[in-house]
Amino acid sequence: QKEVEQDPGPLSVPEGAIVSLNCTYSNSAFQYFMWYRQYSRKGPELLMYTYSSGNKEDGRFTAQVDKSSKYISLFIRDSQPSDSATYLCAMRGALYSGAGSYQLTFGKGTKLSVIP
């Protein structure tokens, strides 16, 4: 079992829809949770960041972390065609918490298309 599981999609939604993207993980040491957005033929860019459990909102985007369930989510409200991209979750543990604590572990990414 990979440490981070993410449904690769593809996911196609109409403009204005609410999008829900999710990742599950198995390593209970993970404390830092991120969502990256990657447009075609570009490098990923950080979209949202959450430390430990809880919610974080930034405009149309909301990130949620449920450490008890080892489950993280990204919600996109009022989705736009410009949101069409691949969304990757990423996470890591605290420094010195064990092997891999300096590394981000990425999900495989979910490809999202928002249809006008």
Partner 1 sequence: NAGVTQTPKFQVLKTGQSMTLQCAQDMNHEYMSWYRQDPGMGLRLIHYSVGAGITDQGEVPNGYNVSRSTTEDFPLRLLSAAPSQTSVYFCASSRGRAPSGTNEKLFFGSGTQLSVL
Binding site for partner 1 (CB under 8 A): 6, 8, 32, 34, 36, 41-46, 49-51, 88, 92, 95, 101-104, 106-109
Q: How far is the CB of 36 from partner 1 (least distance, A)?
A: 8
Structural contact between residues 22 and 8, judged by C-beta atoms closer than 8 angstroms? no
User: Could you tell me the two tokens for 89?
Assistant: 């979750």
Minimum Å gap between C-beta 19 and partner 1 is 19
Q: Which two tokens stand for residue 63?
A: 């990130």
Nearest residue (CB) to partner 1, 17 versus 73: 73
Give 11 or 17: the residue with its C-beta nearer to partner 1.
11
Smallest distance from partner 1 to CB 49, Å:
3
Q: How many Cβ atoms from other residues are within 10 Å of residue 34's Cβ?
A: 21
| 85 phi and psi angles, rounded to 5 deg | -175, 180
d(CA 79, CA 44): 19
Name the minimum Å distance from CB 42 to partner 1.
7
| Cβ-based nearer residue to partner 1, 84 or 106 | 106
Q: How far apart are CA 113 and CA 106, in angstroms?
A: 21
